[in-house]
Structure 1
Amino acid sequence: MADYLVINAYLVIDRGIEIAGGWLAVTDGRISAYGGPDVLAPSAARTIDAGGALLTPGLINAHHHMYQNLTRAHAPAVNGSLFEWLTTLYPLWAGLDDENVYLSTFVAMVELLMGGCTTSMDHMYVHPRPQLIDAQFRAAREIGFRFHATRGSMTRSVDDGGLPPASVVQDEDTILADSERLVRGFHDPAPGAMGRVALAPCSLFSVSESIMRRSAELAERHDLRLHTHLAEDHDEDRYCAEVYGCTPVEYLERVGWASHRTWVAHFIYPSKAEIDRLAHAGVCAVQCPCSNMMIGGGSLDAMDLRRRGMRVGLGCDGSASTDSASLWLETRQALLLGRYRNGPASMTARDALDLATRGGAACLGREDELGHLRVGACADFVIWQMSEVALAGALSDPVEAWLRCAPAVAGTTVVAGRVLVERGEPQIAGLGDILRAHAQAARRMQRLN
């Protein structure tokens, strides 16, 4: 007997496998069977009627900075360039402690669940106090969210020609020792893992060449993935040319990061030859459409990168730049941006869904069990909720309607076989208390008290 059965759904199992009026069975946190109306479904302890709605794999967020929801839409920073935005907010983020990291992570994960995201990484690179990532894992475990922490780092402050204040950077030995500690305490390499750790020096202009090399060596030793921002801004190009005498991609190759372990955020300004080289090396990239458009810095061409052999995922990026955390919104924006850039035949809703599912799983190194709903996959999926008014007349293609006939929200979100959003509402104990505490922490950080 299955733990539960979803019936009467338009199932998207994987690219090329869709079933109208289908059913999906879940046993022990895994997909145990699926079928159409002409196939007998197994008995189950609980049945969920999807009411004919679209059911897809859970979306995967491949780039985020969760702590930034404490400074959303912060007025002095909203109209600056990337570097201006960073230098305005770094002094505020220097006030991070384990309590407001816990609160911001908790809120971010609930928000992601409501937008159909079932797995997310987080790039935590500001460390004014020790052991902040521990608080993130505490939030993830309390919620039941599938979480990949990336141990970010910065070594170069304003005193060394960088952007952040000295209070949020660390020395290399401290960074590497804490990385080892996190791997020992939180990294689960087993199939179905709810928590993993990757290494993520922040950017080429905020860390030393040595920490890039040493992080790559540590990742090789522990079989970890590597993440950083790359080719995001023309200021980065100029900085890299002046300091290292090369382009950002050439620098990445020089420090030993051009490998299958690596996924990079933004990747807006590489040359075609550089794209081809990193694609051949197995590097993945993340598009963050809303954040890139909000800051006005351009965005990668997802379909061109895919044609060149590079796997591409989607990310919300920081909640102080987007300023939301909805993977559905990012997926829709990726579709619109792709078609605006290259024409109406260049990208479909299914292409965008593939970025948000299979593409994100590739970035995290988990294509075998995430981003699809084949038998044996993790039971991470979403039943989408849209109003009858929005869907009126949309009769021929539920997947296209999902992104075209906006807005959509997660009616039901399931992670590892657990229902965490139901009828559009988070099923999270104590959320009201968390939101009140978060509001107080945000006021303190933005110096509004």
Structure 2
Amino acid sequence: MSDRLIIHGGLVLADGESQARLADLLIEDGALREIGPPGQFDTIEGARQLDATDRLVMPAWVNGHTHAHGGLGRGAVADTGLEGFLAASPSINGQRGLADLALSATLTAAELLKKGCTALFDMTSEFPRPTVAGLHAVARAYDTIGIRAVVAPMMADRTLYQAYPELLDSLPEPLKAQAAQARAADPQACLSTVRAAAQDWPFDANRVRLGIAPTIPLHCSDAFMQGCAQLSAEFGLPMQIHLAESQQQAVFGEQRYGMSLVSHLNRLGMLSERLSVAHSIWIGDNDIDQLAQAGVTAIHNPLSNLRLGSGVAPVRRMAERGLRVGLGSDGANTSDTQNLFEVARLAAYLSRIVGSDEARWITASEALHMGTANSAHALGWGDRLGRLAPGYQADIVLLDLAQPIYVPLRDALRQLVHGENGAAVTHVLVAGRVVVEYGRLLTVDESALRRQAQAAAERLDALNAEGRHLAQALRPWIGAFCCGIGQRPFHLQRRLPTH
């Protein structure tokens, strides 16, 4: 017998392109079978019932870019730019065992679910390199808590100081000697790990699937990036890269490759519909055209972009030129939250500060579409997530219309995107299964999770104290170096579009 659920009495916002309307939903075997007028499914016997009276019913958010390891790194990132953060990353994420990897993923997933997000693209990190056991630990955590995920090991075969040789040369002794001791992972070992994981993935790939993430072009040799692309093609793995997140990356990319980072990736054969590019701030019109023509998805991460001072992505320009744009929270260490409601609002509002042409602002409709249907494409699930429509998975969020931001109610979509912060979330369903009920997460003991997280943070901080002190000593030197690079004229600046 099929498993049926009827959600009745709600105000349904099916997607970013529709008006909210009173309707009932019939869910069967985890998928949405039909949306009908109120009362249409009353004669169906034996179905479970969920009363959505005075609730706004929306498709769940899809997080197009985050780092689950950021869950245990919350509060550890100083007021620094991207390169300063990268220099400190080993001291934030180091010394973690399998239990720590699983705990951090659980923390991230718990916050996402409670804020109405049921799927994430996780560029997960394990030092010094990924292992099959580590990937399984993260995937198992997601499977247990009941969230969908792409688990993509973040990998590189160059250190920050190999990516920026001038940075290393700018450091005084003994900081230069200490920084020079950093070692990147063995590229063949990384690729072999992903291959082994792909050949024997023990999880339901419709819920938790494997991906691959060569982290930053400058941090990866050409051969390594091509090896990642080959694995992506061979096993159908979603692939994600941090692209042109900082001005420094754009400057050194042109210096190293004699062309933009996007053109270099295109030359290597990296661009495809399986690829998503996070941030994509320092790119020009020709770059956008190349990405769009290849079917790539760009993931806009406004919270971390502002937190790290990286800049504002040219989102309207991307949309105008046919590039699909999704939304991401980035990690809780660099965004301080996993709240897609905040991400969507900021994505809409930031478009207003870069120009007075109202026709080019990101609308509420576009922001919701970006954070649902468009992000789902990056995860390889664009045909099943991000909308409330027959055949799509029943990943659904219910919001309390009695909350102040909906009183009085005139435009549910506008009030949702511009005013909601997740406080109104009452129920969250994944494949028709209720995982959040009246704001309470049903799949994990949150009190125990908090205790475990605090104990782990204190233990890891003690273990990583030496590395943290080195990162603090390096910060002013890295900041000065980046400021100097930011003052350089470079070819890309003459190609950058208005937003």
Mapped to 1, the partners of 2:225 and 2:271 lie a distance apart of: 12
Query: For each residue in 1:9-58, what CA deviation from the matched residue of structure 2 results, as whole angstroms up to 9, or x when unmatched?
Result: 11122344445221111111111111122744444532111123211111
Segment drifting more, 1-10 vs 311-320: 1-10
TM-score (norm 2): 0.84
Match of residue 27 from structure 1: 28
* Aligned partner (choices 197, 200, 205) of residue 213 of structure 2: 200
Q: Does 1:325 align with 2:338?
A: yes
* Aligned partner (choices 248, 253, 256) of residue 243 of structure 1: 256
Cα distance change, pair 19–330 in 1 and its aligned pair in 2 (3 A): closer
Which secondary structure state, in structure 2, belongs to the residue aligned with residue 356 of structure 1? helix
The letter for the 2-side match of 1:209 is: D
Q: Does 1:396 align with 2:410?
A: yes
Query: For each residue in 1:225-268, what CA deviation from the matched residue of structure 2 results, as whole angstroms up to 9, or x when unmatched?
Result: 22100011111012223333322112211221122221100000
* Aligned partner (choices 425, 429, 437) of residue 422 of structure 1: 437
Which secondary structure state, in structure 1, belongs to the residue aligned with residue 303 of structure 2? helix
Match of residue 137 from structure 1: 139
Which secondary structure state, in structure 2, belongs to the residue aligned with residue 186 of structure 1? coil
Query: For each residue in 1:369-424, what CA deviation from the matched residue of structure 2 results, as whole angstroms up to 9, or x when unmatched?
Result: 1111211111111112365333222x221111112334333211101111111111
Cα distance change, pair 44–22 in 1 and its aligned pair in 2 (3 A): farther
Q: Does 1:110 align with 2:114?
A: no
Query: For each residue in 1:158-191, what CA deviation from the matched residue of structure 2 results, as whole angstroms up to 9, or x when unmatched?
Result: 574569987773211111111012212337786x
- 1:3-402 mapped onto 2 (5 Å cutoff): 3-37=4-38, 39-41=40-42, 42-74=44-76, 77-128=77-128, 130=131, 131-157=133-159, 160-161=162-163, 169-186=184-201, 193-343=206-356, 344-345=358-359, 346-385=361-400, 387-393=402-408, 395-402=409-416
Mapped to 2, the partners of 1:188 and 1:262 lie a distance apart of: 22
The letter for the 2-side match of 1:106 is: T
Mapped to 2, the partners of 1:388 and 1:254 lie a distance apart of: 52
Match of residue 468 from structure 2: none
The letter for the 2-side match of 1:293 is: L
Mapped to 1, the partners of 2:347 and 2:160 lie a distance apart of: 35
Segment drifting more, 351-360 vs 166-175: 166-175
Mapped to 2, the partners of 1:25 and 1:197 lie a distance apart of: 31
Mapped to 2, the partners of 1:16 and 1:243 lie a distance apart of: 43
Which secondary structure state, in structure 1, belongs to the residue aligned with residue 391 of structure 2? coil
TM-score (norm 1): 0.92
Q: Is the 8 A contact 1:128 1:167 kept in 2?
A: no
Q: Is the 8 A contact 1:290 1:330 kept in 2?
A: yes
The letter for the 2-side match of 1:128 is: P
**Structure richer in strand, relative to its length:** 1
Mapped to 2, the partners of 1:119 and 1:35 lie a distance apart of: 26
Cα distance change, pair 428–167 in 1 and its aligned pair in 2 (3 A): farther
Q: Is the 8 A contact 1:154 1:170 kept in 2?
A: yes
Mapped to 2, the partners of 1:141 and 1:330 lie a distance apart of: 25
Residue correspondences, number: 444
Mapped to 1, the partners of 2:163 and 2:279 lie a distance apart of: 23
Q: Is the 8 A contact 1:12 1:19 kept in 2?
A: yes
Segment drifting more, 26-35 vs 84-93: 84-93
Gaps of at least 5 residues in structure 2 are 169-178, 466-499
Cα distance change, pair 161–348 in 1 and its aligned pair in 2 (3 A): closer
Q: Is the 8 A contact 1:127 1:168 kept in 2?
A: no
Segment drifting more, 379-388 vs 132-141: 379-388
Q: Does 1:408 align with 2:410?
A: no
CA-based RMSD of the aligned residues comes to 2.3
Q: Is the 8 A contact 1:71 1:446 kept in 2?
A: no
Cα distance change, pair 161–249 in 1 and its aligned pair in 2 (3 A): closer
Pick the structure with greater CA Rg: 2
Mapped to 1, the partners of 2:116 and 2:403 lie a distance apart of: 19
Match of residue 486 from structure 2: none
Which secondary structure state, in structure 1, belongs to the residue aligned with residue 399 of structure 2? strand
Query: For each residue in 1:128-154, what CA deviation from the matched residue of structure 2 results, as whole angstroms up to 9, or x when unmatched?
Result: 263322111110111111111112212
